[in-house]
Amino acid sequence: MKNRYFIEISFKGTNYVGWQAQKNGISIQTTLDDALSKILQNNVTSIGAGRTDSGVHAESFMAHFETISKVNQNTAFKLNSYLPNDIAVKNIFTTKEKQHARFDCISRSYKYIITFQKNPFLEKESWVSHKEFDLDKMNKTAKFLLDTKNFEAFSRVQTNVKHFECEVQLAEWKKKGNATVFNIKANRFLRGMVRAIVGTTLKVGSGEMSIKEFKEVIKSKDRGMAGAAAKPYGLYFVKAEYPFKLNSIL
């Protein structure tokens, strides 16, 4: 009999085509599945809380998998020994049979990091800007996202979704040391949505677009009116939340 487990991982996405398995490169999902299958000695396929684009990182990403093998504290140790250095298992949880990492997720959080000085130790871990932005205007703009339901203007043009509605619960820009960080939380995200929002909001912060024009972008539902997507390597998947408690085996 197969048992279902949730697994929490963090990863640096620089060398991957994103979370989901792709034909054109190595994904986080494929790498994790290979490790799980090797350690547990049966074919394992994981299902993630969402998708990440190529180059995007994660502080805490959740997935679930099923296996007939015994899973314990030693499993996490073996996985971390087997996985490459840019993927780490943070925790493994027991769960009920039907609990689902993607469909039961009630909110997902992302952050985008902008730095203003080149740092070789942070290469591909933040986006380096050579100009400052008006944080006050950007936060006024972010507030509109809380009252927005349709995010088609920030979605990839060719995407297979039933609707473009999302419920944004948090959207704010903050100074953190020498960096500027955008935090956003919602019940769901469209493909490319966060990077499109960041890219468009930065146009407001730089004076290239007015707050009024930003509102018009939302109303237009036209991706062509929004700004270019921000670079992927400044984006981090931060957290997935669930309506039930997960019990750690560690």
Length of the chain: 250
Give the Å distances, CA to CA, from 241 to 3, 62, 109, 146, 187.
21, 9, 9, 19, 9
- Are 83 and 52 contacting, i.e. CB atoms less than 8 angstroms apart? no
What sign does the CA torsion over 6, 110, 185, 216 have? Answer: negative
Q: Which residues pair with 108 in a beta bridge?
A: 186, 240
pTM of the model: 0.96
Q: Which amino acid is at 247?
A: N
Helix, strand, coil fractions of the chain, as percent rounded to 5: 30, 30, 40
Task: Please check whether residue 200 lies inside any domain of the structure.
Answer: yes
Residue 126 belongs to some domain of the structure? yes
Q: Assess whether 112 and 230 both reside in one domain.
A: yes
Listed as ranges, residues in the chain with pLDDT below 50 are none
Last residue of a domain, one of 54, 69, 104: 104
DSSP code of residue 20: S
Same domain, residue pair 158 and 216: yes
The answer to whether residue 198 is domain-embedded is: yes
Q: Letter for the amino acid at 99?
A: Q
Is the CB of residue 213 less than 8 Å from the CB of residue 144?
Answer: no
Give residue 157's pLDDT: 86
Question: Given 78, 104, 130, which residue is the final one in a domain?
Answer: 104
The number of folded domains in the chain is: 2
Give the range of the structural domain holding residue 222, as residue numbers without chain letter.
107-237
**What pLDDT is stored for residue 209 in this prediction?**
98
117 and 222 in a single domain? The answer is yes
User: Are 55 and 232 within 8 A, CB to CB?
Assistant: yes
Which CATH number belongs to the domain containing residue 25 in this structure? 3.30.70.580
Task: Tell me the catalytic residues.
Answer: 53
97, 128: one domain? no
Last residue of a domain, one of 79, 104, 129: 104
The predicted structure's pLDDT at residue 159: 81
Q: Are residues 74 and 128 in the same domain?
A: no
Q: Residue 220's domain is classified under what CATH number?
A: 3.30.70.660
